[in-house]
Structure 1
């Protein structure tokens, strides 16, 4: 059976020059021109560094994307996931022809509608109704075709009262509602959606995901979906690719892709040099230890569980001024528990440098979990690290019946005691 490939990306790369000038100096432009007239390759394609936003680097050129290859079949919903700065939005802009690739080629069959930012393709001075006709015309539809869909678009968006008001007076949520309705109902063969849906409220997000499922499964249209919401990616997408510093790190099944991405967000438990953190740094986490029954055992369902934090408190801040909390998420980013404490008692020394959370019987199913940490000093954020570290829980005999607890995805209420 032949595959119906609707989108093919071949060796796509995108290079940017850092700084105030987009393409380089006059000498760089002349050098490019001289190589071009002689039939030579652009000399600046041979230089440049990988797109690592956390390092300073030595080159003025950076590869936002490098050698991207993939195919998408008709009716597929492809999830594109990765860290901030991995190249997701750049890729979607190239696919939507907002910008052109430095090298490579894109082959498509049919029209592409994009929802990349709030108000994409909208003119602020025009009304919502006028913008619907404008977007339809851009997609190559006739006025009659657009008019036949306009009632459905307005009804789905929930903006009927404001449809004849200039879009510049819409809230960001209303703009997204109308933009998504236009993109979904004007029947493009390929629908490209960035994280912009996160601007909408919970009711609209659910409605939008349902509509994307309908147009992919029922109408056979293709969706490219970028999101940091792993639950939405898992429920909606049929396949996933993971971008890492401008390159494809994984391509395959959605669940495997999510696990690959989340495994890549693990941090070393030595957090002293961890850069992606917020706060004053007066008190911060230096090291974390996570273990089960003893320091040599992995955490296991139904067994003792310990998280021990070693703090960097060189200013010897008093324990009464420190508050500490941790938030535990599952591998889809869903909040399992939020534990918060203020330190009330401390003996032997005036400063605090170690805090231990102890649980006699771990109430988590097997799988990976991710911990966000937050320290405040006198109610001012001192050290806040999103997904500071992760830990794995092994299946265990929680009820001492000789049977392992089945992995049922549900939220657990965790009861810890705290040792200082």
Structure 2
């Protein structure tokens, strides 16, 4: 959540952020009104309680005639205090409810617009000219089936659409990617973590995934648990209700977990293969930093992602995501999009988001710098979303005979194997 003091001092900035996101601007005025009621009812409650205490001291000293009048007044005050307390609690709950609906403030440098209004910041690598090489590229599913690496038919039989099996070299390729990603993150100073896939409501709400993203979250109603769509959720909640020492920051974690997404609203989109699925594994970077270091850490996360994709020898571009395409918790987000030959376009593989103090306030994660205690900043960055990375590797490194060249980075994790060959061979 944002700082209420900022809302009071500069409501126009918050309105502009809501407008840039394409969200309800009227929410800002509703929140201001609720906050004013909360503060005024709090003052009223404190005044009545003070009067009640003062009256309580007078009653024992009063004469019999005065005592009767004071007791009558005390009874009325008791009723008034209860009413004021109820009004204060109601206004406080309303303020919290509205505040949780408000997205993070959009960074001033973020391009304004919808999904297609991103700005390309950088382009890396060379897109292969398959025509010049004399063959038509196959898509990842055709390649994966020939390699004995992907089985979507049995995935659908067992679990339904958008599920799959990784088999043989496909399973080995996932393990190689995960191990290589964790190795890079560990070398960069991240602590590797295996995180829970089920979390309580507060963890999911605290990270901002029960607002606009709620439709894509799986909820186990009987037990009131949520399946995470990213290990960002348990990593953000790891230090929930804690105060961290400023001299121990930054604290960086690399979480590996299964991820579950309903993919609501994507009917008919990316239905072939394993690009858009309901369950996948991912390595996620997560940082706790001092607020003043958040923007620098955001750039660091992006550099680690670029290092990773360059190591996989993939052509990719970096984009500054437009305001209307930001998640509720992010003030700014950079995506790395890899070239997918059979689609003829770049598609998202990794992302890096700066959440400033938004998640920290909701989860009560603070830092102590001397005597000062304040919310810190959290950031997250995908290092390797496994299925999409496999898609990009198979399509970009395929050879004319249907085999796939293994990037040098992954060879030590695949027993030195340089080529993945079709099982028919």
The answer to which structure has the higher helix fraction is 2
Whose strand fraction is larger, Structure 1's or Structure 2's? 1
The answer to whether TM tops 0.5 is no
Q: TM-score, normalising length from structure 2?
A: 0.22
| TM-score, normalization by structure 1 | 0.22
Asked which structure has the greater RCO (Cα within 8 Å, sep 6+), the reply is 2
Structure index of larger Rg: 2
